[in-house]
Amino acid sequence: MTNYPQIAVLIPCYNEELTICQVVKDFLEVLPTAVVYVYDNNSTDRSVALVQGLIAEVKDRVVLRHEVRQGKGNVIRSMFRDVDADAYLLVDADCTYDPKIAPRLVAQVTDQHYDMVIGDRLSSTYFEENKRAFHNAGNVLVRKLINVLFKRRRTEEIKDIMTGYRVFSRDFVKTCPILSRGFEVETEITIHALEHNLKICSIPIAYHDRPQGSFSKLNTFNDGFKVLLLIFNLLRVARPLLFFLSCALICFIPAVVLLIPVLSEYFATGFVSKVPSFVASGIFLLHSVFCAFTGLILDTLKRNQRREYELIANLMRQVTSVPGSASLKMSEKGFQNALESGAGVAKSAG
């Protein structure tokens, strides 16, 4: 008997009564062996009742769960933690993504062994379908920032950072810590993949705007600010040397500007009359040196953390990455021993 990869379709749902059933049915049709997990996030409309009615029809192929902590990040955190599968397809419940391309996206994980496959809206119909100008501009800005900050070559650029249509490997899902609470979670997931040099590919997909009567929960300015703040914080954590050397340079420039006239006067007269400038220059210079050494120390710690992550990921793969192995789980004690072993090896290597 052939063992097919176990595929989980993950659908976050918050007040999507107009579209949720259609989305579930579409993915049940195009992925006949998949199980669809709908995670309700405190919907106040008929979304839950409609999904329950659908479950009565299809029985074991649809699972409804609830996440009481509000926010898409909280929902995805629970999904990644609770669901066991070989491939995970994450899709929004708003009927904007084409389900027909789902088998191709999943195949990149199950057959080509990519860690994350991105459904790229921005290279296809997104700008024609989406009429919200600030959303379009925000997507382009975030994409450019991520690709520049993480030094992606043109042939390897991430085309769509904010897309809600992705497929992940089991290794990715079980080693990706989700800290975000809201819509900035897509950016966090992308940066995690870039930071750990995971295998990523982007596939252009057709995008359709929401049907009439359906409204986005994304607040352009509020959520956009959260995304930019997240990029700033993740850059500080993921690329500490770049971040703190940039801060050091910012402090070094005014230190030199203030110090030049002071030194010129001193070498010409042997006196320093611009004491405030000299003191300010010294303060900026001390900050610059402090930032530089902070970046070097944190970069060393980050490298050790990366080494530890790789060792733990290798240990996980040894026991969980056999084809169709979602049902083959480590015991809680065994996994804890693996983590402790990986941490011990990493410390020794550091």
At 215, is the secondary structure helix, strand, or coil? Answer: coil
The overall average pLDDT reported for the chain is: 82
Q: What is the pLDDT of residue 138?
A: 66
pLDDT class for 2, splitting at 50, 70, 90? very low
pLDDT of 253 strictly over 80: yes
* Mean pLDDT to the nearest integer, 35-59: 93
Question: CB neighbours of 176 closer than 8 A, spacing ≥ 6?
Answer: 80, 168, 189, 192
Per-residue CA distances from 216 to 2, 58, 289, 332, 334 (Å): 42, 28, 47, 40, 44
Per the model's pLDDT, the better-predicted residue between 271 and 337 turns out to be: 271
Q: What is the pLDDT of residue 136?
A: 61
46 burial type by CB count under 10 A (0-12 exposed, 13-18 middle, 19+ buried): middle
* Mean pLDDT to the nearest integer, 98-109: 95
Q: What is the pLDDT of residue 345?
A: 40
Q: What count of other Cβ atoms lies within 10 Å of the Cβ of residue 2?
A: 4
At 184, is the secondary structure helix, strand, or coil? Answer: coil
At 122, is the secondary structure helix, strand, or coil? Answer: coil
d(CA 311, CA 296): 23
* Mean pLDDT to the nearest integer, 62-69: 95
DSSP state of 207: B
Q: What is the pLDDT of residue 219?
A: 59
Q: What is the pLDDT of residue 328?
A: 44
* Mean pLDDT to the nearest integer, 21-47: 95
275 residue type, one letter? V
Cβ atoms of 54 and 22 within 8 Å: the answer is: no
pLDDT class for 100, splitting at 50, 70, 90? very high
Domain with CATH 3.90.550.10 in the chain: 7-238
The class that CATH gives domain 7-238 is alpha beta
At 69, is the secondary structure helix, strand, or coil? Answer: coil
Q: What is the pLDDT of residue 128?
A: 62
pLDDT of 25 strictly over 70: yes
Say how many CA atoms lie within 13 Å of 232 toward its Cβ. Answer: 7
